[in-house]
Chains A and B, each alone.
Chain A
Amino acid sequence: MFNSLDISTSGLIAQRTRLEVTSANLANRYSITDAQGNYSPFRRRMAILSTGDPSTGSSEGVHVRTIEQDQSDFRKVYEPGHRFADKDGNVNYPNIDPAMEMINALDASRAYEANITATEATKAMIQSSLRLLA
């Protein structure tokens, strides 16, 4: 019975990580330099989920296997006066589409809520079994 709580928790953690990745994407929509100040536009990150839960050693549940970078083309913005403009006057901005990120954020938070609901259901089941004792 407590196993299903483990499963729901692994789902919560995975969805929270997804949401964190999405937030990082949205926050870095205009980040075109790395931490050292070198020109290196931020690449969109994607959380890759996979079945199984290594933290409990179970084949049930879900976990974030890796966080990969989206290799699609950067968004080109024509800014000829920009310090990092190329020969055509374009600057590469991160390949992040806010609409897509918002939908992902919505999806992750709904999935988080679904796992919370499953947890609540499990808790209610265990608690109600206590009522077997008169």
Chain B
Amino acid sequence: MIQGMFDSGALPALERLAQFTESRHRVLTNNIANLSNPYFKARDLDVKSFQAALTQAIEDRRGGGGRTNGPLHVRDTAQLFFRTDGITAHADEIHENVLFHDQNNIDLERNMQRLAENTMTHNAAIELIRNQFSLIQMAIRERP
């Protein structure tokens, strides 16, 4: 009963999203910290593969019947290992940008954009989780 309460609705997916954005935030801030570090290669976590893994897990949970409760089992990707209490992430170097003369390939604008996107996604996830909790609380207290 208790675990079912926390496995209800989009809460598990939102938790995974918050864990992912936290991990990615660490990677992106690390890129900014190493902005003028020669030979540093920018790193990033692949959002697409995270989303694909989450989509698969949600499809599995829905089981064709559109079910919106039950635990969510996300399969590991090349970079992400989904533990029960969080995500272990191994960010890969990205090779998208022409190297500067100091062999550092960080594209500041691109990195800042990713950081902004990630922060906003994180905020949205946290806000939705807060909302889910307050809804459950409302049901427990029987009062709005």
Contacts and interface: CB of A to CB of B under 8 A. Distances in A.
Given A133-B128, A133-B131, A6 B123 contact: no
B93 interface: no
B76 interface: no
Given A55-B96, A133-B131, A119 B123 contact: no
Interface in A53-110: 55
Interface stretch (B11-19, B36-44, B83-91, B109-117): B109-117
A5 B116 contact: yes
Contact of B113 (A9, A16, A126): A9
Contacts, number: 31
B127 A5 contact: no
B110 A9 contact: yes
A130 B107 CA distance: 29
Pick the most buried of B116, B128, B131: most chain A CB atoms within 10 A of its CB: B116
Interface in B109-143: 109-110, 113, 116-117, 120, 123-124, 127-128, 130-131
Interface in A98-134: 119, 123, 126-127, 130, 133
B117 A130 contact: no
A75 to B, nearest CB: 28
Interface residues of A, number: 15
A49 interface: no
B109 A13 contact: yes
B116 A130 contact: no
Given A55-B96, A133-B128, A127 B113 contact: no
A127 B120 CA distance: 7
B137 to A, nearest CB: 14
Contacts of A6: 113
A119 B107 CA distance: 16
A47 interface: no
A5 B123 CA distance: 17
Contacts of B123: 127, 130
A21 interface: no
Given A130-B123, A133-B128, A133-B131, A123 B109 contact: no
B107 A126 contact: no
B131 A13 contact: no
B95 to A, nearest CB: 12
Interface in A1-43: 2, 5-6, 8-9, 12-13, 16
13 contacts: A2-B117, A5-B116, A5-B117, A13-B109, A13-B110, A16-B109, A123-B116, A126-B124, A127-B123, A130-B124, A130-B127, A133-B127, A133-B131
